[in-house]
Amino acid sequence: MFPEKEIVKLWLNSRGYLVVGDINAGKNKVVDALALKIEQGQLSEVVHVEVSVSVSGPGDVAHEVRAKFSDPLVEKVIQKFTQKFSGAKEVKRLLVTNAPAQGIMDGIEIMAFEKVLVDVLSTLDRQNYADPTVRALQLMKYLLLANPEPLSQILVKLQDNKTLSSQGMERFVEFLLQRPETKRVFAKGQPITESFFASSPITRPEPLAKFVLKSLTTRSFNLFLKELFKDSKAQKFTKKSSPKQKSLRVFLD
């Protein structure tokens, strides 16, 4: 069984399904997986699952759906298989793919393989698994993704070799900036905050002013100005103002 099918099987198992994979339907027709949910000794749910994943780019999802779910031989072997059990005989259809199409297509639910992979990785424990696919996922999770330095190195290398685009890296950084952990890092102040802003375009006067005005409430803005005018540079600036003009400090006191 291909690794992507093993991952989908593990995902279905975690949701209480018994999975039978690679069912031969004849004439080179194969059902990727049949997911069975058995409750109180009866078959309560049947899902015909097909997996279509490609690292070189997704193909025609509509074509995959027609070919894999509408074939008479496939439908016949599934019906024959489910007749062995008492209970539900209605067969749901699920296509797991990395193609952009999502939702329902002609009665077929389409699930993103990326979501399945995230679910499997996030719930994978440290048990000793004999399956090489599961073991590989364990190594990736606990030795790579869980360690900041190797994770950052692989992200940089992915961008260097164009696997991860600049736009993709920007979206990743934007997501991180929304995390409370990132805000705690900035709250620590020096030297992390200074090194981050040192080469940032936001340090230019106009973007910085817009950022401050947009981000702060009126009360926070007043506190910001009070703190700002404690600095010697700001004090020198206020001394240069015309004698007829009131200093900004007057409005803050």
Q: Is residue 159 part of a domain?
A: no
Among the ranges given (55-69, 95-109, 112-126), the one the predictor scored with the smallest mean pLDDT? 55-69
Tens digit of each residue's pLDDT (9 = 90 or more) over 132-164: 999 999 999 999 888 888 888 888 888 888 888
Of 82, 99, 123, the domain-final residue? 123
Half-sphere exposure in the Cβ direction for 207 (13 Å, CA): 6
Of 123, 157, 192, the domain-final residue? 123
Query: How many residues are given for the chain?
Result: 253
> 10 and 115 share a domain?
yes
Task: pLDDT band for 113, please (50, 70, 90 cuts).
Answer: very high
Q: Is residue 71 part of a domain?
A: yes
CATH number of the structural domain spanning residue 39: 3.40.1350.10
Q: Is residue 237 part of a domain?
A: yes
Average pLDDT value for residue range 102-120: 85
Q: Is residue 131 part of a domain?
A: no
In one letter, which amino acid is 113? F
Q: How many domains does the chain have?
A: 2
pTM of the model: 0.71
Average pLDDT value for residue range 220-230: 75
CA distance 188 to 183: 9
Of 93, 123, 153, the domain-final residue? 123
Angstrom distances, CA of residue 148 to CA of 73, 103, 127, 154: 50, 35, 23, 10
Tens digit of each residue's pLDDT (9 = 90 or more) over 160-217: 888 888 888 888 878 877 778 777 766 666 555 566 666 666 667 777 677 677 777 8
Name the residue range of residue 33's domain.
3-123
> 119 and 227 share a domain?
no
Instruction: For tokens 């409370």, name the residue.
Output: 180
Query: Starting at the edge strand that comes first in sequence, how are the strands of the sheet with 42-52 ordered?
Result: 18-26, 29-39, 42-52, 91-97, 108-112, 103-105
